Amino acid sequence: MIENAKHIDLPPTPADIKNLNVGDVVYLNGTVYTARDQAHKRMALAIEHNEALPFDLDGAAIYYCGPTPARDGEIIGSCGPTTSGRMDAYTPLFIENGLKVMIGKGVRSDEVITAIKARGAVYFSAIGGAAALYKSCVVKAEPVAYPDLGCEAVLRLTVKDFPAVVSIK
């Protein structure tokens, strides 16, 4: 563990987010939903058609990740971050609908940055190439939606001491 790192329970309170600074190292604890490109596309269509989402976006945390299947006796397979920019077309809509935390790697579009700042959300950068580290932080994994997407299906993860860095807030 890194000394002086902040510990954030998910979902975060507005005060939790307000007290973060870009560059802060954090350890996240609580519920995170995995979702990648195709799940984002389906969820955006559901919002546009006033249909139910597979989970409530209000205060939610999404980890841009497509975990590999778990081996026998394991909770989850490798689960490193994917490139966040691939979700940028959908992210402002999700933030408008309550999304507060995004976790991934890479830069974000100007529209996403504007939405994050306007709505009091936060983008955490995760370490590319550290899938084994992140796997060790997952204490529970449950399927939620879109099983036909395979590794890109939406999962509800319970994480403990999941390391990240505040990149945009």
Catalytic residues: 40
- Pick the closest to residue 51 from 43, 40, 59, 60 (CA basis): 43
Q: Please answer whether residues 37 and 152 qualify as being in contact, where contact means their C-beta atoms are separated by less than 8 angstroms.
A: yes
Place of tokens 């939790």: 16
Q: CA 22, 23, 24 angle in degrees (round to 5)?
A: 95
**Contact by Cβ (8 Å): 100, 17:** yes
Helices within 32-142 (DSSP H only): 37-48, 91-96, 110-119, 131-136
How far is Cα 85 from Cα 110, in angstroms, rounded to an integer? 11
- Tokens 């269509």 correspond to 45
Are the C-beta atoms of residues 141 and 157 closer than 8 Å to each other? Answer: yes
